[in-house]
Amino acid sequence: MISFTALFSTFAFGASAFPPPPLLRADVAYDVRPGDAPPATGRRNLPAPFLMVEQAMRPQDQYQVRIEERVIIRIAPSPPATRERMLSTLPRKPMTTRFQEVKLDSCVPIQSIGGVAPVQPNRLLLFMRDRRVLSAALDRACDAQAFYSGFYVERSSDGMLCSGRDQLQSRAGTSCEVAQFNRLVAIKD
């Protein structure tokens, strides 16, 4: 049977036969990437049991994956055929009807928007699928002409486009917030 001192002396003399590897210095920056061997913190040529203990003491690599889902809806300008069809139902004689804006709720369902057209400097007409026409007042700094080819809006959890909350992104890159929604109502004189 091997005595403890004989075993210890073998390790003591065996370990001193190998030159010590360089130790980490605090004033030097080390470039370590995932998958690289960690920098030397002590002796490299240790027997297998000691290496296993050293590896067990190292912190474990942990990685985190974050998955996000983002749905963006495109609202296109209303096609000319749709506009012509809507205008064909109007009488041909001079109209004595004018339109007035009536304040609407602060939110409208995104899925019910059929098309869009810029009108005034900061106003868009929204053509709804139920044949209503709404006006969306944009922030003062926004130019409605930037939305000539429609806009994108990020889908919210409730499926609504709300004034003061959602941003409209034009295809040209302009981003604006809706200040207020109004409904156009015909008033006969």
Residue whose pair of structure tokens reads 């709804």 in the numeric block:
128
Residue 62, pLDDT score = 77
pTM for the model: 0.53
Residue 35, pLDDT score = 58
What are the mean pLDDT values of the chain's consecutive 10-residue runs (189 residues total)?
54 51 54 57 68 81 79 74 67 70 89 88 89 89 88 90 90 89 83
